[in-house]
Amino acid sequence: MKKAAFLDRDGVINRSAPEGEYITRWEEVEILPGVAEAISLLAQAGFCVLAASNQRCVAKGLLTLSELESIHERLCKELAAKGATITRIYYCPHDSQPCCGCRKPDPGMLLTAARDYEIDLRSSWMIGDSDVDIQAGMKAHCRTVRIGHVDAITNPPPDLFAKDLLDAARKLLQFKSPSPMGGA
Ligand SMILES: [Mg+2]
Ligand SMILES: [Zn+2]
Protein backbone atom coordinates (compact mmCIF):
# COMPACT_ATOMS: atom_id res chain seq x y z
CA MET A 1 0.00 0.00 0.00
CA LYS A 2 1.20 3.44 -0.92
CA LYS A 3 0.60 6.73 0.78
CA ALA A 4 -0.73 9.61 -1.26
CA ALA A 5 -0.63 13.38 -1.17
CA PHE A 6 -3.91 14.60 -2.62
CA LEU A 7 -3.67 18.16 -3.86
CA ASP A 8 -6.54 20.47 -4.54
CA ARG A 9 -5.89 22.25 -7.85
CA ASP A 10 -7.10 25.86 -7.83
CA GLY A 11 -5.38 27.87 -5.11
CA VAL A 12 -2.87 25.10 -4.39
CA ILE A 13 -1.22 24.15 -7.70
CA ASN A 14 -2.32 27.10 -9.81
CA ARG A 15 -3.63 30.52 -8.93
CA SER A 16 -7.41 30.52 -8.48
CA ALA A 17 -9.64 32.42 -10.83
CA PRO A 18 -11.32 35.45 -9.25
CA GLU A 19 -14.35 34.67 -7.06
CA GLY A 20 -17.21 33.25 -9.16
CA GLU A 21 -14.97 32.71 -12.19
CA TYR A 22 -13.30 29.59 -13.54
CA ILE A 23 -10.12 28.61 -15.30
CA THR A 24 -11.31 27.58 -18.75
CA ARG A 25 -8.19 28.06 -20.91
CA TRP A 26 -4.55 27.07 -20.58
CA GLU A 27 -3.57 30.75 -20.89
CA GLU A 28 -5.27 31.34 -17.52
CA VAL A 29 -3.22 28.70 -15.71
CA GLU A 30 -0.55 30.24 -13.52
CA ILE A 31 1.42 27.67 -11.55
CA LEU A 32 2.11 29.00 -8.07
CA PRO A 33 5.66 29.52 -6.73
CA GLY A 34 7.26 26.52 -5.04
CA VAL A 35 4.75 24.00 -6.40
CA ALA A 36 7.23 21.97 -8.44
CA GLU A 37 9.64 21.82 -5.52
CA ALA A 38 6.86 20.79 -3.14
CA ILE A 39 5.72 17.96 -5.42
CA SER A 40 9.31 16.73 -5.79
CA LEU A 41 9.78 16.74 -2.01
CA LEU A 42 6.58 14.74 -1.52
CA ALA A 43 7.55 12.25 -4.21
CA GLN A 44 11.04 11.82 -2.73
CA ALA A 45 9.41 11.06 0.61
CA GLY A 46 7.45 8.23 -1.01
CA PHE A 47 4.11 9.91 -1.61
CA CYS A 48 2.12 9.21 -4.75
CA VAL A 49 1.09 12.75 -5.73
CA LEU A 50 -2.46 13.02 -7.04
CA ALA A 51 -4.82 15.94 -7.52
CA ALA A 52 -8.54 16.11 -6.74
CA SER A 53 -10.40 19.07 -8.16
CA ASN A 54 -14.02 20.24 -8.27
CA GLN A 55 -14.64 21.59 -11.77
CA ARG A 56 -18.32 22.33 -12.06
CA CYS A 57 -17.48 24.73 -14.84
CA VAL A 58 -17.93 21.62 -17.01
CA ALA A 59 -21.52 21.15 -15.78
CA LYS A 60 -22.07 24.86 -16.36
CA GLY A 61 -21.00 24.44 -19.98
CA LEU A 62 -18.02 26.79 -19.68
CA LEU A 63 -15.63 24.21 -21.09
CA THR A 64 -15.83 20.64 -22.36
CA LEU A 65 -14.39 17.57 -20.67
CA SER A 66 -11.77 17.27 -23.37
CA GLU A 67 -10.78 20.92 -22.92
CA LEU A 68 -10.42 20.33 -19.19
CA GLU A 69 -8.35 17.21 -19.79
CA SER A 70 -6.10 19.01 -22.20
CA ILE A 71 -5.49 21.74 -19.59
CA HIS A 72 -4.57 19.00 -17.12
CA GLU A 73 -2.29 17.31 -19.62
CA ARG A 74 -0.38 20.55 -20.18
CA LEU A 75 -0.27 21.25 -16.46
CA CYS A 76 1.25 17.83 -15.75
CA LYS A 77 3.71 18.22 -18.62
CA GLU A 78 4.82 21.64 -17.45
CA LEU A 79 5.40 20.34 -13.91
CA ALA A 80 7.10 17.17 -15.15
CA ALA A 81 9.56 19.36 -17.04
CA LYS A 82 10.50 20.78 -13.62
CA GLY A 83 10.94 17.30 -12.16
CA ALA A 84 7.52 17.22 -10.48
CA THR A 85 5.24 14.31 -11.28
CA ILE A 86 1.52 14.42 -10.62
CA THR A 87 0.43 10.84 -11.21
CA ARG A 88 -3.15 11.77 -12.06
CA ILE A 89 -5.59 14.64 -11.74
CA TYR A 90 -9.01 13.47 -10.59
CA TYR A 91 -11.81 15.92 -11.14
CA CYS A 92 -15.53 16.23 -10.53
CA PRO A 93 -17.23 17.80 -13.56
CA HIS A 94 -20.68 17.76 -11.95
CA ASP A 95 -22.82 20.50 -10.50
CA SER A 96 -23.51 20.69 -6.78
CA GLN A 97 -26.98 19.15 -7.27
CA PRO A 98 -27.85 16.35 -7.49
CA CYS A 99 -25.22 14.86 -5.22
CA CYS A 100 -22.70 12.89 -7.32
CA GLY A 101 -20.50 11.57 -4.52
CA CYS A 102 -17.30 12.82 -6.11
CA ARG A 103 -17.72 16.56 -5.61
CA LYS A 104 -15.83 17.67 -2.50
CA PRO A 105 -16.72 17.77 0.41
CA ASP A 106 -17.61 14.17 -0.51
CA PRO A 107 -14.59 11.89 -0.57
CA GLY A 108 -15.41 10.07 -3.84
CA MET A 109 -12.32 11.16 -5.76
CA LEU A 110 -10.02 10.11 -2.93
CA LEU A 111 -11.75 6.75 -2.53
CA THR A 112 -11.56 6.08 -6.27
CA ALA A 113 -7.88 7.02 -6.30
CA ALA A 114 -7.27 4.70 -3.36
CA ARG A 115 -8.71 1.80 -5.37
CA ASP A 116 -6.88 2.79 -8.56
CA TYR A 117 -3.45 3.10 -6.95
CA GLU A 118 -3.70 0.89 -3.82
CA ILE A 119 -3.46 3.88 -1.53
CA ASP A 120 -3.55 3.58 2.25
CA LEU A 121 -5.78 6.55 3.03
CA ARG A 122 -4.88 6.63 6.72
CA SER A 123 -1.27 7.41 5.89
CA SER A 124 -2.25 9.91 3.20
CA TRP A 125 -2.81 13.67 3.23
CA MET A 126 -5.27 16.03 1.58
CA ILE A 127 -3.97 19.54 0.98
CA GLY A 128 -6.39 22.28 0.04
CA ASP A 129 -7.34 25.90 0.44
CA SER A 130 -11.08 25.40 1.17
CA ASP A 131 -13.17 23.87 3.90
CA VAL A 132 -14.52 21.34 1.37
CA ASP A 133 -11.00 20.02 0.80
CA ILE A 134 -10.48 19.47 4.51
CA GLN A 135 -13.91 17.86 4.89
CA ALA A 136 -13.29 15.50 1.95
CA GLY A 137 -9.89 14.56 3.37
CA MET A 138 -11.33 13.84 6.79
CA LYS A 139 -14.18 11.74 5.39
CA ALA A 140 -11.56 9.67 3.59
CA HIS A 141 -9.59 9.31 6.87
CA CYS A 142 -6.65 11.28 5.54
CA ARG A 143 -4.71 13.89 7.44
CA THR A 144 -5.25 17.40 6.19
CA VAL A 145 -3.41 20.65 5.54
CA ARG A 146 -5.30 23.89 5.04
CA ILE A 147 -3.52 26.40 2.86
CA GLY A 148 -4.19 30.06 3.40
CA HIS A 149 -4.27 32.38 6.38
CA VAL A 150 -2.86 30.56 9.34
CA ASP A 151 -5.59 32.00 11.53
CA ALA A 152 -8.38 31.12 9.09
CA ILE A 153 -11.48 29.96 10.87
CA THR A 154 -12.05 26.56 9.44
CA ASN A 155 -14.57 23.93 10.27
CA PRO A 156 -13.51 21.27 10.97
CA PRO A 157 -9.94 22.21 11.86
CA PRO A 158 -7.19 20.62 9.76
CA ASP A 159 -4.16 18.83 11.20
CA LEU A 160 -1.91 21.59 9.90
CA PHE A 161 -2.04 25.07 8.42
CA ALA A 162 0.42 26.23 5.76
CA LYS A 163 0.89 29.32 3.68
CA ASP A 164 1.41 27.51 0.38
CA LEU A 165 2.07 24.04 -1.01
CA LEU A 166 5.80 24.13 -0.34
CA ASP A 167 5.18 25.12 3.28
CA ALA A 168 2.57 22.35 3.50
CA ALA A 169 4.95 19.74 2.12
CA ARG A 170 7.72 20.73 4.54
CA LYS A 171 5.37 20.70 7.51
CA LEU A 172 3.66 17.41 6.78
CA LEU A 173 7.01 15.72 6.23
CA GLN A 174 7.93 16.71 9.79
CA PHE A 175 4.53 15.92 11.25
CA LYS A 176 4.54 13.64 14.27
CA SER A 177 1.25 11.91 14.87
CA PRO A 178 -0.31 13.01 18.17
CA SER A 179 -2.20 9.71 18.39
CA PRO A 180 -1.09 7.19 21.05
CA MET A 181 -0.72 4.65 18.27
CA GLY A 182 2.26 6.66 17.05
CA GLY A 183 2.87 7.64 13.46
CA ALA A 184 4.74 6.14 10.57
MG1 LIG B 1 -9.03 25.42 -4.09
ZN1 LIG C 1 -18.97 14.65 -9.23
> What CATH number should be reported for the domain holding residue 118?
3.40.50.1000
First and final CA of the chain: distance in angstroms?
A: 13
Q: Identify whether 141 is part of a domain.
A: yes
- Is residue 149 very low, low, confident or very high in pLDDT (cuts 50, 70, 90)? confident
Q: Quick one: pLDDT at residue 150?
A: 63
pLDDT for position 179: 64
User: Would residue 179 count as lying in a domain?
Assistant: no
Residues with active-site annotation: 8, 10
Ligand showing the shortest atom-to-Cα distance for residue 13: 1
Chain segment 63-116, per-residue pLDDT in tens: 999 999 999 999 999 999 999 999 999 999 999 999 999 999 999 999 999 999
How far is Cα 109 from Cα 92, in angstroms, rounded to an integer? 8
- Alpha-carbon distance of 158 to 154, in angstroms, equals 8
- Is residue 40 one of the residues assigned to a domain? yes
Residue 49 in any domain: the answer is yes
Cα 183 to middle of ligand 2, angstroms: 32
Number of domains in the chain: 1
Domain that holds residue 103: 3-173
Task: Say if residue 181's pLDDT is above 70.
Answer: no
Task: Report the candidate in 113, 116, 114, 91 with the shortest Cα–Cα distance to residue 104.
Answer: 91
CB neighbour list of residue 158: distance below 8 Å, 6 or more residues apart:
134, 137, 144, 145, 146
In angstroms and rounded to an integer, the radius of gyration of the C-alpha atoms of the chain is 15
Give me ligand 2 centre to Cα 147, in Å.
23
Residue 183 lies in a domain: no
Give residue 18's identity as a one-letter amino acid code: P
Q: In what order do the strands lie in the sheet with 143-147?
A: 88-92, 47-54, 3-7, 125-128, 143-147, 160-162
**pLDDT score at 156:** 78
Residue 117 domain-assigned (yes or no): yes
At residue 159, does pLDDT exceed 50?
A: yes
Answer yes or no: is 70 within a domain.
yes
- pLDDT-derived band at 183, boundaries 50, 70, 90: very low
Separation of CA 181 and ligand 1 centre (Å): 32
**What pLDDT, on a 0 to 100 scale, did the predictor assign at position 80?**
98
**Ligand 2: distance of its center to the CA of 38 in Å?**
27
